[in-house]
């Protein structure tokens, strides 16, 4: 793909690594071979002379082809559903189990109703009889003593051992079971992100290392500082990159504008670096758009963060404000960088180069190495010089930190920059 950096060549659009793809190919080949072996074993196993299933032995080739066809169909379904979720699978199995419990309880109620109605409608339930040996008390005369004695002898009698329900009743029970399983699976699949169970094995919402996941937006990935922060191992939470964010990043990397294309490539490089890092876990998450839901990337990101209880990592001021209005926690990398800048107290002296005039009369402006703006009173005519500045005050804004000061002393040695 034009605009795709070399570092992303080792990752496919669904986040699959080449090594994982090779393992999947081997697994699918073994699966096809295993089904073929099963078919051959069934064909060659029984003696045709005593085998009751003669149709299969007469059509051995068709049986083998059918098994291989089933294997290919299963593999095709696996390929055409690339986005799997262990949480969804867990929800399906747990939903089926809960549905079967509900269906069993309702079937008991159906049995009670059928038992009550069977007197009026005997065709609903047919008794089942069988001949059983029942111990019967018999009086016999003891040949030695001539006295009567009581002994038990088995007597064959016909007794009711159960009942069979009308097919209509069985159909009702089966229908109830199917409905219960469907409703419970559907309910759990749609609400699994809100369910918290005490038992770890039914915890559908993945609790990553630090609990609440961190959602990276495009600006945070392109900025690049998130990779350096991740390598310090201060994050214990999982990083989530929604699929629509990755798509936007790829569109930027494919842009006709050279500046945007370079920014997109840098973002893809940073994302690849994060995936290769052992300090954090990165999950490329598929997020399906909801009908009538938000359309823009920022709105979808905020909506997704609300659903999973995550925090957004960004450098975008507007996204920061929108997320806070909707009650979503935001980690702004710019705010984090400002918080980590050294604090200069009034009276401290620092060295700064004056590079331009300020807005007020007599002011000169310089910058520290970390980008902090320093406004120096009385330095308007000293542009291009490095001088000592005594700090008088500091101002913290959303755009960054500003330091105000004045030349430390008139006798301070001045060095004209070359």
Residue 128 CB coordination number (10 Å): 10
Six-digit token string for 3: 């605009």
**Per-residue pLDDT band at 404 (split at 50, 70, 90):** very high
**Per-residue pLDDT band at 169 (split at 50, 70, 90):** confident
Using H for helix, E for strand and C for coil, what is the string for 312-336?
EEECCHHHHHHHHHCCCCEEEHHHH
- Dist. CA 305–CA 216, nearest whole Å: 10
Longest dimension (CA), the chain: 144
Residue range 165-169: mean pLDDT, rounded: 77
Protein fold of 344-416: OB fold (Dihydrolipoamide Acetyltransferase, E2P) (2.40.50)
Classify 214-338 by CATH class: alpha beta
Which has more confidence, 53 or 329? 329
Phi, psi angles (nearest 5°) of residue 384 = 90, -5
Six-digit token string for 98: 């809960």
Nearest CA to 240 out of 4, 5, 15 is that of 15
Within 8 A by CB and 6+ apart from 185, the residues are: 91, 92, 95, 96, 99
Phi, psi angles (nearest 5°) of residue 281 = -105, 130
Q: Give the model's pLDDT for residue 160.
A: 67
Instruction: Note the pLDDT tens digit of each residue in 132-143.
Output: 777 777 777 777
Q: Give the model's pLDDT for residue 3.
A: 42
Which has more confidence, 1 or 152? 152
Q: What are the domain boundaries of the chain?
A: 6-82, 87-202, 214-338, 344-416
Mean pLDDT of the chain: 78
What DSSP string runs through 65-107?
Answer: HHHHHHHHHHHHHHHH-----HHHHHHHHHHHHHHHHHHHHHH
Instruction: Note the pLDDT tens digit of each residue in 29-51.
Output: 888 888 777 777 766 655 554 44
Nearest CA to 27 out of 35, 66, 12, 67 is that of 35
């Amino acid at each position: 793909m034009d605009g795709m950096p070399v570092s992303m060549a080792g990752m496919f659009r669904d986040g699959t690594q080449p090594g994982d793809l090779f393992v999947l190919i081997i697994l699918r080949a073994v699966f096809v071979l295993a089904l073929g072996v099963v078919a051959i074993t069934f064909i060659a196993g029984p003696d045709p002379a005593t085998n009751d299933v003669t149709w299969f032995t007469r059509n051995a080739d068709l049986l083998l082809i059918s098994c291989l066809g089933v294997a290919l169909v299963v593999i095709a379904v696996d390929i055409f559903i690339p986005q799997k979720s262990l949480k969804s699978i867990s929800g399906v199995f747990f939903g089926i189990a809960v549905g079967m419990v509900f269906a069993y309880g309702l079937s008991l109620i159906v049995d009670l109703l059928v038992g009550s109605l069977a007197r009026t409608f005997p065709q609903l339930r047919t008794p089942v009889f069988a001949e059983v040996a029942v111990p019967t008390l018999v009086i016999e005369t003891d040949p030695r003593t001539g006295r009567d004695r009581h002994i038990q002898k088995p007597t064959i009698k016909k007794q009711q051992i159960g009942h069979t329900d009308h097919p209509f009743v069985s159909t009702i029970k089966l229908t109830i079971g199917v409905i219960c399983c469907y409703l419970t699976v559907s309910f759990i699949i749609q609400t699994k992100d809100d369910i918290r169970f005490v038992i770890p094995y039914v915890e559908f919402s993945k609790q990553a290392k630090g609990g609440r996941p961190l959602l990276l937006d495009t600006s945070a990935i392109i900025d690049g500082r998130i990779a350096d922060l991740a390598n310090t191992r201060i994050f214990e939470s999982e990083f989530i990159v929604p699929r629509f964010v990755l798509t936007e990043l790829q569109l930027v990397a494919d842009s006709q504008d050279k500046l945007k294309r370079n920014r997109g490539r840098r973002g893809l490089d940073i994302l690849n670096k994060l995936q290769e890092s052992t300090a954090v876990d990165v999950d490329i998450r598929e997020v399906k758009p909801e009908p009538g839901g938000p359309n823009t990337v920022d709105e979808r990101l905020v909506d997704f963060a609300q659903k999973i209880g995550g925090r957004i990592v960004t450098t975008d001021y507007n996204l920061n404000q929108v997320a806070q209005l909707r009650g979503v926690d935001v980690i702004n990398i710019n705010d984090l960088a400002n918080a980590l800048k050294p604090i200069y107290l009034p009276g401290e002296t620092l060295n700064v180069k004056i590079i331009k005039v300020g807005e007020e009369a007599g002011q000169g402006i310089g910058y520290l190495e970390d980008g902090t703006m320093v406004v120096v009173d009385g330095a308007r005519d000293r542009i291009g010089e490095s001088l000592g500045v005594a700090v008088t005050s500091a101002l913290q804004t959303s755009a960054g930190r500003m330091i105000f000061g004045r030349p430390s002393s008139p006798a301070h040695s001045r060095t004209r920059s070359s």
